A and B are shown apart, each in its own frame.
Chain A
Amino acid sequence: MTEPDDTCDGLAENASPAADLPRDVPALKMFYLYLSAGCNLHCRHCWITPTFVQGQPVPGECLPFDLLAAAVAEAKPLGLSAVKLTGGEPTLHPEFRKIADFLTAAGLDLSMETNATLIDRDLATHLRQKTNLTRVAVSLDSPDAAQHDAFRGRKGAFDDAVRGIGHLVAAGLPPQIIMSVHRENVDRLEALIELAVRLGARAVKFNPVTPSGRGADLHRQGLGLSFDELLALNHRIRGPLQDRHPRIRLSAMVPPAMASVKELLRYGGDGAGCNVRHILGLLGTGEMAMCGIGRNVPELCFGKLGRDRLRDVWIHHPVLRQMRADLRGPFPGVCGDCIHAGRCLTHCLAQNYEAGGKLVAPSPLCAEAVRRGVFPATRRISWRGERTRP
């Protein structure tokens, strides 16, 4: 079955209560909470491009607690049931614990993306025992400390992350490891999986570096994966690597049209699309945005907490309204002829926007497959092969 870890949001389809909204406006189920615009690492491939905070855990721009509390109060009647804590590095927020406790008291499910370098035994235990945090994802790009540190931009980042993972595991929060894959570490997948198993992680997710934020530089340097490499990577992860490592969940976000039948069967069919219709990003600046892409793309910021009413933004903002209309179909390009489109919803809208300036558009991978004539014919609605004729 598809598991929350396999998706970007980790949001269960039925996770939200009924919302007080017009019929054509979906529930706002989840905040992506970019608690801090700062990070204590300086990762070469980060798509968020947070402010680098040298050495000490001094935050960049942090979301004020009062604004967050007001946003939660506004969003709960709209269906809010879950929050992903992310950043920058979320634990850099000076009121991180207070925020986690507050969100827990508000009855919200919590997940977190972190580099784990600032997680000590006390914090891990607190998060496990006192909060609703159930899923943690930790970035680890290589089983090799020097390689990881080189990409994370700080010596010692690997050791700190491994230590943090150890605290999480010991506290009963075995994390998912997220590996950002590029040409220089693509040959270390299996070694990283083995390390993840040794560390007690519960899953590994592989995110190819996208040409967004600092990742654009990486691609310009020729370190991004090519179309063929991306396809091979996805098939390898979801096929032979998962076959060889059945005790740990491996995942890679790939449009279902580009996954084999075996992979679709293994990952629960084609139903693990993006829940972007139910998500609002809150940036450290207090801006309301399309997931995290708003940090890089100002036109995908919809308003500011404290100045604009969240409810008004959610219901009326023209970008959100247009996105909802577009996601009702008909879908553009090859998606209009794809049997998966109704679940896939054009895959990652942020990536689509970065690639072509449109949110609802064929994913870069599918679009390239069409250009190369390798988009699978059997995934087209117009396919005219064998039909069942009882």
Chain B
Amino acid sequence: MRGTAVSEAADLRYALRADVAIEDFGERALVLLCDALELREINGASRRILAQLDGVRTVADIAEKLAPAGGGPATVAAALREMEKQGIVRRTAIWTTERPENMSDAKYLANPDVSFRQEDDEGGILFHAEADAVEVINPTATAIWKFLAAPRTQAEIVAHLCATFQGAPPAQVAQDVAEFIAAFLKKGFVGVVEASA
């Protein structure tokens, strides 16, 4: 599942994935994706970008650090997008698990550190490794979870569910969504994307 862009390119935030190891070979480098046991080769420009990813950094931050040779935010953003596709970096939204003042207007996003495990049509399991927490979710919650791969408002989630589950009463769906968001926000499985994102 891939999310959509959550802000202008310069504001996008990235982090090195936790399961990668980098071996330099002159200008280039090999990246070992330890979980997948796969290798990726990256060029010198991408390697210099990775050198700046000591934590979560915005595209603008990295571009500024690499200036003037780095090529500017657009170049950095393109390289990061490519490395995200390769599983080397992950994009992180500016998000918080604080309950927003206005639940209706806020945009919500699935916690990228939570893994989803679908087993059958009955639903699936969410595992938050850092918190050592498990949530077992039914098919409706599964649909919500998948939809939250990108930032969504509650209204967007309700519309998506009503389109997915034909005949579901919108008022009931809205209530279910509100309860899901409130519960999963509290548990840290879902975050709120801040307005600037």
Contacts and interface: CB of A to CB of B under 8 A. Distances in A.
Contact of B119 (A260, A269, A384): A260
B20 to A, nearest CB: 14
A381 to B, nearest CB: 6
Nearest to A341: B132
Contacts of B119: 260-261, 376, 378
A265 B136 contact: yes
A386 B1 contact: yes
A242 to B, nearest CB: 14
A262 B134 contact: no
B117 A390 contact: no
A379 B134 CA distance: 10
A216 B110 CA distance: 49
B125 A388 contact: no
B135 A269 contact: yes
Given A264-B136, A384-B35, A390 B110 contact: yes
B70 interface: no
Nearest to A343: B134
Interface residues of A, number: 23
B122 A262 contact: yes
A342 interface: yes
A339 interface: yes
B181 interface: no
A227 interface: no
B129 interface: yes
A388 B120 contact: no
Nearest to B84: A389
B148 A390 contact: yes
A53 to B, nearest CB: 46
Contact of A378 (B90, B112, B117): B117
A342 B127 CA distance: 12
A261 B151 CA distance: 27
Contacts of B3: 389-390
Interface string B122-152: 1111010100101110100000011011110
Given A262-B122, A270-B134, A388 B149 contact: yes
A379 B114 CA distance: 14
Contact of B112 (A269, A343, A376, A389): A389
Nearest to B128: A339
Interface in A334-390: 339-340, 342-343, 376, 378-379, 381, 383-390
Nearest to A271: B134
B118 interface: yes
A265 B138 contact: yes
A388 B114 contact: yes
A386 B116 CA distance: 7
B36 interface: yes
5 contacts: A270-B134, A388-B114, A388-B146, A389-B90, A390-B110
Interface of B: 1-3, 35-36, 90-91, 93, 109-112, 114-120, 122-125, 127, 129, 132, 134-136, 138, 145-146, 148-151
Interface of A: 260-262, 264-265, 269-270, 339-340, 342-343, 376, 378-379, 381, 383-390
Given A261-B119, A387-B116, A388-B116, 12 more contacts: A260-B120, A260-B122, A264-B125, A264-B136, A265-B138, A339-B125, A339-B127, A342-B132, A386-B1, A387-B115, A388-B148, A390-B148
Q: Which 10 A-B pairs have the closest CB atoms?
A: A378-B117, A262-B122, A390-B3, A264-B136, A339-B127, A342-B132, A261-B122, A261-B123, A388-B110, A390-B109
